[in-house]
């Protein structure tokens, strides 16, 4: 895979970035050993950047992958903190559990905050302070809002943007795919590094994976795409796609034939409603005392699973 430069960060990254969310406890629940083995497989085949987050609970998987690895691997994490002290705790936990001395990018993880530059000011300041201390190389913003992407134009401190975009616009909170694409192009021209998330809408577009990934990868200003992967076949297929190389058609058909769903174990649901505000896409409701998902809105991000005190939500 030909490397690309992630905006003015100068980071030379693979355009296919390993999205680690699906392997962790919010989704597939792979063990750190199994997950680590798969990430290592990907690293040894040319992927050189991993995207994670405090919320994903998978630092152990990544640490396993990096154990004894001699290549350069860029690490991007995220903090969903709304105050400086918690943000610092999140970064320090990541450093400790990943066993690294710095993180290449730490995003303000504010998917449904329309103006994170204002509303997460104390978090941004804390991250900038940790950048001064050498714990973070670059501060980023992870968002589902077009207006938040545009806000980054006014914020010289934010070097990397991690926006949600896919062909169908699923999960974009304030406009269309075309409007998000235009905002991405603008911030890239301004020197921001951009790597996209949810190009497959959390698995909803798996049936048209090649077309959907090709669409996002081809957008002006998109330097990379974080893609969640759970098997060596997926890694191989995606590396081939991002290298413009041939790949076995039958294998692609198999991969594109697999669908994913949000499973709520209704029998055990207490109807407490804790999952409802955790959903950035307003896809959850309580109906007759039980949580119910609107599959048209759900992007299979798994954030509701983290909010459920009964641990009965899974992306399967």
Interaction site with ligand SF4 (CB under 6 A) = 262, 264, 269-275, 278-279, 281, 283-284, 291, 293, 298-304, 307-308, 310, 312-313
**69: its two tokens:** 């690895």
> Of the two residues 209 and 306, which places its CB atom closer to ligand SF4 in the complex?
306
Q: How far apart are CA 17 and CA 12, in angstroms?
A: 12
- Contact status, residue 262 vs residue 298, Cβ threshold 8 Å: yes
CB of 18 vs ligand SF4, minimal distance in Å: 20
CB of 263 vs ligand SF4, minimal distance in Å: 10
> Of the two residues 147 and 278, which places its CB atom closer to ligand SF4 in the complex?
278
Return the exposure string of 279-305: e unless at least 16 CB atoms fall within 10 Å of the residue's CB, then b: bbbebbeeeeeebebeeeebbbbbbbb
CB of 22 vs ligand SF4, minimal distance in Å: 11
Q: Residue 50 is inside which H or E element, if any?
A: strand 49-51
Q: Is 192 exposed, middle or buried (0-12, 13-18, 19+ CB in 10 A)?
A: buried
> Of the two residues 186 and 310, which places its CB atom closer to ligand SF4 in the complex?
310
CB of 198 vs ligand SF4, minimal distance in Å: 10
Q: Is 243 exposed, middle or buried (0-12, 13-18, 19+ CB in 10 A)?
A: middle
Q: How far apart are CA 99 and CA 279, in angstroms?
A: 31
> Of the two residues 199 and 262, which places its CB atom closer to ligand SF4 in the complex?
262
> Of the two residues 11 and 283, which places its CB atom closer to ligand SF4 in the complex?
283
Query: Cα 3 to the chain's mean position, in Å?
Result: 19
> Of the two residues 177 and 204, which places its CB atom closer to ligand SF4 in the complex?
204
CB of 280 vs ligand SF4, minimal distance in Å: 6
Backbone angles phi, psi at 228, to 5 degrees: -75, 135
CB of 279 vs ligand SF4, minimal distance in Å: 3
CB of 200 vs ligand SF4, minimal distance in Å: 13
Nearest to 77 by CA among 52, 99, 55, 101: 52
> Of the two residues 1 and 298, which places its CB atom closer to ligand SF4 in the complex?
298
Which residue in this structure is represented by tokens 């918690």? 86
């Amino acid at each position: 895979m030909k490397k690309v430069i992630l905006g003015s960060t100068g980071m030379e990254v693979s355009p296919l970035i390993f999205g680690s969310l699906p392997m962790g406890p919010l989704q597939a629940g792979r063990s750190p050993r199994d997950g680590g083995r798969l990430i290592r497989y990907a690293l040894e085949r040319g992927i050189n950047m991993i995207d994670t987050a405090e919320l994903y609970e998978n630092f152990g998987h990544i640490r396993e992958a990096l154990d004894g690895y001699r290549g350069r691997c860029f690490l991007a994490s995220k903090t969903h903190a709304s105050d400086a002290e918690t943000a610092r705790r999140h970064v320090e936990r990541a450093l400790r559990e990943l066993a690294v001395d710095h993180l290449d990018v730490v995003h303000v993880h504010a998917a449904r905050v329309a103006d994170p530059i204002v509303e997460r000011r104390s978090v941004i300041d804390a991250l900038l302070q940790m950048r001064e201390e050498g714990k973070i190389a670059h501060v980023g913003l992870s968002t589902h809002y077009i207006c938040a992407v545009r806000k980054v134009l006014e914020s010289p401190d934010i070097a990397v943007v991690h926006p949600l975009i896919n062909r169908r616009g699923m999960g974009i909170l304030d406009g269309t795919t075309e409007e998000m694409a235009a905002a991405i192009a603008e911030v890239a021209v301004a020197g921001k590094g951009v790597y996209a998330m949810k190009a497959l809408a959390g698995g909803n577009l798996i049936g048209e994976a090649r077309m959907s990934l090709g669409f996002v990868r081809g957008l002006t200003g998109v330097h990379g795409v974080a893609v969640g992967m759970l098997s060596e076949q997926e890694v191989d297929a995606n590396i081939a796609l991002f290298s413009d190389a041939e790949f076995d058609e039958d294998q692609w058909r198999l991969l594109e034939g697999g669908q994913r769903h949000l499973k709520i174990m209704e029998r055990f649901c207490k109807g407490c409603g804790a999952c409802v505000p955790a959903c950035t896409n307003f896809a959850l409701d309580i109906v007759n005392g039980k949580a119910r998902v609107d599959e048209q809105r759900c992007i299979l991000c798994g954030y509701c699973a983290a909010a459920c005190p009964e641990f009965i939500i899974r992306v399967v």
